[in-house]
Structure 1
Amino acid sequence: MGPTALHMAAKCGSLGSLTCLLALRADVTKVDERGWTAIHFAAFYDNVSCIRALYRKDPRFLELETSAQYNSTPLLLASMAGAFDSLQYLLSLGANLTKLDSENNNIIHLAALYSHTEILKYIIEQNIPELPVWELLTEMMKSKEYRKQEMGVRSLEVLCVTDKQYWKAIHSAGSIPALVDLLHSKYETLQCIAAAVLCNLSTYPEVCQSIMDYNIIPVLIELLHSKQPELQSRCSVILYDIALIDDNASLIASLNICSRAASALALFAINNPKLLDLIRACGGVQMLVFQKLLQSSEELDQVNAAFQMIILAKVIVDMDEVTLSATGIITLVNLLKSKKASTVIVVGRLLSSLTQIREGISDAIITMGAVEVLCTHLYAEREQVRNSCATALGYLSFNRTGHRHLLKECRNQPELYDLLIANICKDGKISKEFTDEFEVQKLLGLPIET
């Protein structure tokens, strides 16, 4: 059913036509195919005079929900459309501030999702306890839905430059860890916007001290390798601001130089025996380079050093290859037990790479108990943790010992197999022999292994 004459009058803001139709007893409860009545049209298209006339006709229209789409009230539609005057008027009438639509969005969520930052700014200025804007935007950044993450951080980006004093509220709302988490995102767009927000906030010493608590220096240094000029420049600015505080300048410099040099060597040496021979002919590498990073208080430095040691084991001149590889693998598996999601994500990715470079590495990883630890992370709240660990398990399933260990875990925890399959990255792999055997055992209903 299409719109009625009353709907069109409300939509176009034709108060005369609407008043005439009401006098002729037009059906004010009539809905279109979306379940919208006249007051929904008036609210969405920002026609306050029409809202006023319809509200006087029946005050119950104030909380009337659309019957076919999202169950939205006039206030929710006004927020979605950025209908500022309508929103102010509906709030003055006492519309329900905390009302949620069928997607669990309130007026803050909708204003952010549709880029209406002027509405967010208005709610902030009104200081409404039921609508904590900063906390709700932080919640959006932590969401599993990409669109909510993106629009939450975009709203924060606009607001933090709208009023310089907002940095205090953003800091107090616990937004810093959520922004740092977005720097670890697999989406470069999210990394870029999060870096922009942190770039605007890092001029304040209190914020710099906070972001230092979340192991941000290695992440920023890693992002300097990005092909996105904007991301590089923003990370550089944040590092500059951090360097101005306490002893951070020397920390950044030493970590940057050692990490970059070892990272470059390891990158080019992967599956490249000729280059390894050339490095050794040039005098090789001293263990001291990695020892510094292994003793760093930053877990990501330890992770990268351990990985680089394994790759460059043949060219480190003051320790034997077996000891170096074992030390690196033990370090990685131990760090896999970290409580920091960022550490677990990186370790999972590096383990995936290591399973493909040299015979015997997978056996050592499995012997150290990596399969069991990786399996526990499949229950993690963060999708990136699950993706990273599931992909590593997929590659380990090609190893016969890894195959048996993983099969045992999946038999003991039936839901684990579904989590594993659902979270493997698109470019990841899993042994067909393993999946076929699990399906057969599932059909046979074999007992739990002890």
Structure 2
Amino acid sequence: MQALSTMTSLEEGAWAPIHHAAVRNHAATMARLLDTAGPEELEAPTRDGLRNTPLLLAAASASYQVAELLVGRGADVAALNAQQHGVAELCALHGHWALLRYFLALGDPRVNVCARLISLLQSDVDREALSAGLALAHLMDEASGAAPCPAPRLLEQGLVPAVLGMLGKDASHTVKEQALHLLNSLLRARGGKEEVAKHGGIQVLVSLLSEGAEGLLGGVVGAICEIACEKSFAEELHSAGAIPAFQRVLSAARRGSSSCLGTGSGEPLAAGSLRSLDLMAEACKSCKDDMGKQHGFLSGLVQLAEECRSPSLMIVWSEVVESVTANHPNNQAAFLAVDGAVPLIHMMKSKARDVQLQAIKALHRLVEGNPDAQKKVLELGGTLPLIQLLQKSQSPHVQEVVADALWALAGAETECQRTVAEGMGVNMLVGFLRSVSQKLHQIGIEGLGVLLQGPRDMRNAVFSANGVDHLVRMLCSERENIVLSTIRVLRHVCLGIGYIPHYKNQIAIANSRGLKFLLALMIHSPYEAIQAEAAYTLSAVVLGNSENLEILSHSSAFQYRYILPLLYSSEEEIRLLTAGALATFAFNNVSEQRAIIQAGGVRWHHFQPFLQSSKEIHRIQAAFQSIVLSRIIPDNEPANITAIGIRTIVDTLERSQAHHTLALAADCVARLAHTRAGIAAALVSIDAVGVLFQLLSSSVDLVQSCAAVALGYLSFNHVAERQLLKRCRKKPHLVGNLLLYTRKHKISPTFLARWKHSQELRLPPIRNKPALVSSMHMKFSVVHPLPGKCQWLSVMFLSSIPQDVITF
């Protein structure tokens, strides 16, 4: 300051002793001078052209004790010098923060420190504007150790428009940087964001972002990121053009150098830009839509990922992907189209656990609810790093995140679920049941359920892994969905394709009190779905197991009167489940059929609506149930019921295109093929063998396995055996599928011997020559019609061909 720098040259006559005492902070001298001099000395200005009072000199020279003394003696705190600077301005210009806070704490209405500093902030002189900005920032700094100036007071005094004005005018970068620092402090204060938006601050910041002013981008990005934290401002940022502006910033960061995206100066800029985009996408659907449609936006993200070296930057990049693609099929497809899954899979292999987990979360959202995305990531090998991480980790949190993503990859298609579940393995899925995580419980139960319904018999593996005990424990869960899923899985644990019981698992359920739990759920559960499912699983636990059936029969709590009322439920699924339970209890068991009759029995009207349903699954289930129960249905003939059921199942096998429907229908044939006499012959008479044999070439393993098992049981019928052998000779490449899936089931030894004999004789495959002969004959008859008296020759020629050959 001029007054201080020229003090020695102006000592003679320019300054009085009181001025020297003020500058030198001589409080004792000042007190003595004031006591001996008159009151006019208190406000005596210097005669150097600046006209500073003793108090102004004390403020300029940080003379704290003198300032307190002068204020106490009544000095004018509102005094201004010739430059119109008061105590607030002088403290700010010289950086005397403690003295500035002293004047602020006075609360004297004559000296409005905040207003004076805000006014100074708008000065055209860079030094003054910069000093005011520094002073205001210090006053708001809570980390300074002193009581901060309340931000609301500064907002009321008009600090926001002043700061925005600094950003908009032609000032130095240093001043604008200080303004941005101040703005960021204001944005963190209560009401700061609203005030900035009210005065057009969002548009100002986005304009600065678009200009890409060097040295200012960090502050601009930080301010926008702070604004984006409030969801209500996302749309306004979008309207102001923030997305393309950020796109240009990220593009410039990529073009700079790869090192700047590692640990260099470019990382905070890129990270702040990505964080802002993440917040906008999460808060605003139109933002998310625009990010997917913006030309080059998603491809730019992928290119950015290829240059990321910093773990923190990889994490925030993955967060953007997660927000942009979550629940958005179009963005999911667009991101996959530019190979966006590749860097995510690469990040899942990172050594940094935080990077791995965030990449996994992003991949989860990328494929969630999108079968095409799931298949694409599966083709790229996305499950391998997930399964490897799952095998290595012991952390429940990590296991939950990884398993959840894996199951999202599996989707809703049974085949994909089975592929993922097989990758996890039975031991890992059973291990999930030992976890404290309910999410892992659900995934473990669902995964086991898929494996148990698959073409490969996993029941022994579940038994060896002690899976039954853990599943029974899940029956005590407080979550209805877990209880329901567990009940279904226990049913599959007990029964394989063709209703073949697994004795060890059935006994294990009984030994772990599973029968008691299931019975209690059947009787006391408030939910009909759980009651019906529990009854169905109880029937599976006792099917073909005399020990378990005896335990259940001797329980006074078990009575069919608890099951039969469910046949009248308003929910058709409940009625079907109940009929399925009754059919399983009655399967090849006359005594249980009698018990069902004594409890009230079943009627034809329980099945008829389902046999006429538009849903193929319902028709098949009702057909099987009605055939098994046909002898105890009093209002229709058993032969008629059986004929309708068999025709329904075989017709569905011939016409359906749904894999799960074909698998269930073939499974029902396998079940019926080893029930009462005559059913197998009836199935063979309507060419069930031919239809099932064609299914051996299905692209789905489960359909192949169910068809093979059904053919194995039918092969004990002599007619079916001959038909099957003939078809095997026509298509010998399908015999491998037949023998593969019947290794653990039954197939006629006679058929196997005859097939082996045909192979030893090296008989050639049967070819479809009859059709060729017939067509040649027809062509000959048309071009050269035979005389009427010789037409019998044609008939004799055709009749000489074996009838079973003509049909082919």
Instruction: Give how far 1:111 is off.
Output: 4.1
- Aligned 8 A contact 1:142 1:149 in 2: no
Inter-partner Cα distance in structure 1 for 2:763 and 2:415:
46
2:437 counterpart of 1:119: no
Q: In the alignment, which residue of structure 2 is the partner of 1:306?
A: 623
- Aligned 8 A contact 1:141 1:149 in 2: no
* Residues 232 and 303 (structure 1), Cα distance of their counterparts in 2 relative to 1, 3 Å cut: farther
Instruction: Give how far 1:277 is off.
Output: 3.4
**Aligned residue type for 1:381:** S
- Aligned 8 A contact 1:349 1:388 in 2: yes
Q: In the alignment, which residue of structure 2 is the partner of 1:322?
A: 639
1:177 to 389, 399, 413: 413
Q: In the alignment, which residue of structure 1 is the partner of 2:773?
A: none
Inter-partner Cα distance in structure 2 for 1:149 and 1:430:
41
Instruction: Give how far 1:150 is off.
Output: 9.4
Instruction: Give how far 1:335 is off.
Output: 1.9
- Aligned 8 A contact 2:604 2:635 in 1: yes
**Aligned residue type for 2:713:** Y
2:401 to 141, 158, 162: 158
Q: List alignment gaps of at least 5 residues for structure 2.
A: 1-308, 318-335, 391-397, 444-470, 486-528, 530-567, 768-804
* Residues 387 and 275 (structure 1), Cα distance of their counterparts in 2 relative to 1, 3 Å cut: same
1:413 to 722, 731, 740: 731
Q: In the alignment, which residue of structure 2 is the partner of 1:375?
A: 693
Scaled by the length of structure 2, what TM-score is found?
A: 0.31
Aligned partner of residue 379 in structure 1, secondary structure:
coil
Q: In the alignment, which residue of structure 2 is the partner of 1:256?
A: 573
* Residues 176 and 270 (structure 1), Cα distance of their counterparts in 2 relative to 1, 3 Å cut: closer
* Residues 115 and 351 (structure 1), Cα distance of their counterparts in 2 relative to 1, 3 Å cut: farther
Q: In the alignment, which residue of structure 2 is the partner of 1:351?
A: 669
Instruction: Give how far 1:297 is off.
Output: 3.0
Inter-partner Cα distance in structure 2 for 1:184 and 1:301:
28
**Aligned residue type for 2:375:** E
Inter-partner Cα distance in structure 2 for 1:160 and 1:395:
39
Instruction: Give how far 1:306 is off.
Output: 0.5
Inter-partner Cα distance in structure 1 for 2:429 and 2:352:
16
Aligned partner of residue 416 in structure 1, secondary structure:
helix
Inter-partner Cα distance in structure 1 for 2:706 and 2:346:
30
Inter-partner Cα distance in structure 2 for 1:414 and 1:342:
26
* Residues 176 and 320 (structure 1), Cα distance of their counterparts in 2 relative to 1, 3 Å cut: same
Inter-partner Cα distance in structure 2 for 1:418 and 1:318:
45
Instruction: Give how far 1:343 is off.
Output: 1.3
2:652 to 331, 335, 357: 335
2:754 counterpart of 1:437: yes
Inter-partner Cα distance in structure 1 for 2:355 and 2:621:
44
Inter-partner Cα distance in structure 2 for 1:309 and 1:184:
36
Instruction: Give how far 1:379 is off.
Output: 1.6
* Residues 133 and 313 (structure 1), Cα distance of their counterparts in 2 relative to 1, 3 Å cut: closer
Deviations 1:122-152 (A, max 9, x none): 388699x9x9997797239979x9x869949
Inter-partner Cα distance in structure 1 for 2:481 and 2:572:
19
Q: In the alignment, which residue of structure 2 is the partner of 1:138?
A: 374
Higher-Rg structure is 2
Instruction: Give how far 1:325 is off.
Output: 0.4
- Aligned 8 A contact 2:411 2:417 in 1: no
- Aligned 8 A contact 1:111 1:119 in 2: yes
- Aligned pairs (5 A) from 1:221-236: 229=475, 233-234=481-482
- Aligned 8 A contact 2:344 2:363 in 1: no
**Aligned residue type for 2:667:** R
Deviations 1:262-302 (A, max 9, x none): 12221111122233234445554211100122233332222
Aligned partner of residue 412 in structure 2, secondary structure:
helix
- Aligned 8 A contact 1:115 1:151 in 2: no
Inter-partner Cα distance in structure 2 for 1:116 and 1:369:
59
Tell me which of the two structures has the higher relative contact order, counting C-alpha pairs closer than 8 angstroms and 6 or more residues apart: 1
Instruction: Give how far 1:257 is off.
Output: 2.9
Deviations 1:378-415 (A, max 9, x none): 12222211111111111111111111111111000010
Instruction: Give how far 1:324 is off.
Output: 0.4
Inter-partner Cα distance in structure 2 for 1:377 and 1:361:
21
Deviations 1:174-228 (A, max 9, x none): 93335896599899887999x969x89xxxxxxxxxxxxxxxxxxxxxxxxx855
Q: In the alignment, which residue of structure 2 is the partner of 1:296?
A: 613
Scaled by the length of structure 1, what TM-score is found?
A: 0.53
1:390 to 683, 708, 712: 708
Deviations 1:284-338 (A, max 9, x none): 4211100122233332222111111100111111110111001111111122232
Q: Percent identity?
A: 28
Question: Mean alpha-carbon deviation: is it higher for 251-260 or for 270-279?
Answer: 251-260
- Aligned 8 A contact 2:410 2:420 in 1: no
Q: In the alignment, which residue of structure 2 is the partner of 1:366?
A: 684
- Aligned 8 A contact 2:345 2:385 in 1: no
Inter-partner Cα distance in structure 1 for 2:615 and 2:703:
19
Deviations 1:332-363 (A, max 9, x none): 11222321111122222222111111011111
- Aligned 8 A contact 1:137 1:156 in 2: no
- Aligned 8 A contact 2:652 2:662 in 1: yes
Q: How many residues align?
A: 306
Q: In the alignment, which residue of structure 2 is the partner of 1:270?
A: 587
**Aligned residue type for 1:108:** I
Q: List alignment gaps of at least 5 residues for structure 1.
A: 1-82, 92-96, 99-104, 201-225, 238-242, 244-250
Inter-partner Cα distance in structure 1 for 2:416 and 2:733:
31
